[in-house]
Copies of this chain bind each other. A is one copy, B any other.
Amino acid sequence: MKNSRIDIDRAVELLRDARHIAVFTHENPDGDAIGSAAGMTAALNASGRKAELFLTAIPPESYRRFVGVAYRTELAPEELIGFDLILQLDTATEKRIAAPYGVKLDDTLPLLAVDHHPDNTEYGRWNLVAESAATSVIALEIAEKLVGTIPVEAATLFLLGIVTDSGGFRFDNTDPACLRAAAGLIELNADYRGIVDAVFFTRSLDRLKFEAELLSDCLDLRCGGKLAIVTIPPALIAKYHIDMSSTEGLVDVFRSIKGVETVAMLYYRNVGLLKVSLRARNPLRPVGPIARSFGGGGHEMAAGCLIENGDPIAVAKNITDLFEGNHK
């Protein structure tokens, strides 16, 4: 009964048979989490089912106005029995599930997990894990089979998920399927302009000035310009009120410098805890090995590590040595 791998038709069947569905996603929800979860909630409601969205955090400001459906943050244990299905979206591992306050996760829950992360651990009773640029692409396919016409608020939400997870169709995961899904959603009157404007064309002046100072004063190009080391002073983070937990795209600014092959961005996450974000541009010179040498991990092109009592100058020196060793 537990941990079965299912295909999309079986997922549709499970949702079709359900009357009252709780929709969960992952912690610190990003655009695809919000998009797939709120979008499926809207689509399920349009199909005549009762679906409720649960989030444990307020959606990021830039996405908030697209949510369009009500969400709850708490769920009493005795209420849980009233749901005949929990739809868990965009969540790779059990640990990352954003369970509403009051819910204890255990194997007895009728959990249907739908996700696109290749490292998904298939923790649900039913698991649909498909290769896709975004969970929202899979959610859209399910929704299309459940309802005749996708409601416009769901279309905008699925499109938000596709646009954010593909980096506006610039990341390596961009594929024909997500481009075609986006085309279809625009035809359903999804608010593409609003999404592009909110996600790519609305940046805080503080963030822009922060980036400008990093480029002017904190960028150290080594090894003939192939290695970019960016050490962010705590004072700069404070000056511009930067929340370092939401700085996606920052390290890519440095990776896009002509000639740069490897980027290492260093900053203190907490006092004494040095965070190193690593990015590679050339698949032949991955950064995974550098991260692992510091006890970290990640992908080969994007990795990172945390170093207790790390000294940025010494760490930068180590990274330079590893980079040069790599180029011999």
Residues on A close to B: CB < 8 A? 168-170, 172, 174-177, 179-180, 182-184, 186-187, 192-193, 196-197, 200-205, 208-209, 211-213, 215-216, 221, 225, 252-253, 255-259, 281
Contact = CB atoms under 8 A, between A and B. Distances in A.
Given A186-B179, A200-B256, A169 B169 contact: yes
A281 B198 CA distance: 12
Number of copies: 2
Interface centre among A170, A211, A253, A255 (most CB of B within 10 A): A170
Contacts of A193: 172
B257 A203 contact: yes
B209 A215 contact: yes
A208 B202 contact: no
B170 A179 contact: no
14 contacts: A168-B168, A169-B169, A170-B196, A174-B192, A174-B196, A179-B182, A179-B183, A179-B186, A180-B180, A201-B252, A201-B255, A202-B256, A205-B258, A216-B216
Contacts of A208: 215, 253, 257
Given A179-B183, A180-B180, A212-B212, A201 B168 contact: no
Contacts of A170: 168, 196, 200-201
Contact of A175 (B169, B186, B213): B186
B209 A216 contact: yes
A6 to B, nearest CB: 27
Contact of A184 (B168, B176, B259): B176
B168 A176 contact: no
A61 to B, nearest CB: 10
A147 B174 CA distance: 27
Contact of A213 (B192, B211, B216, B252): B216
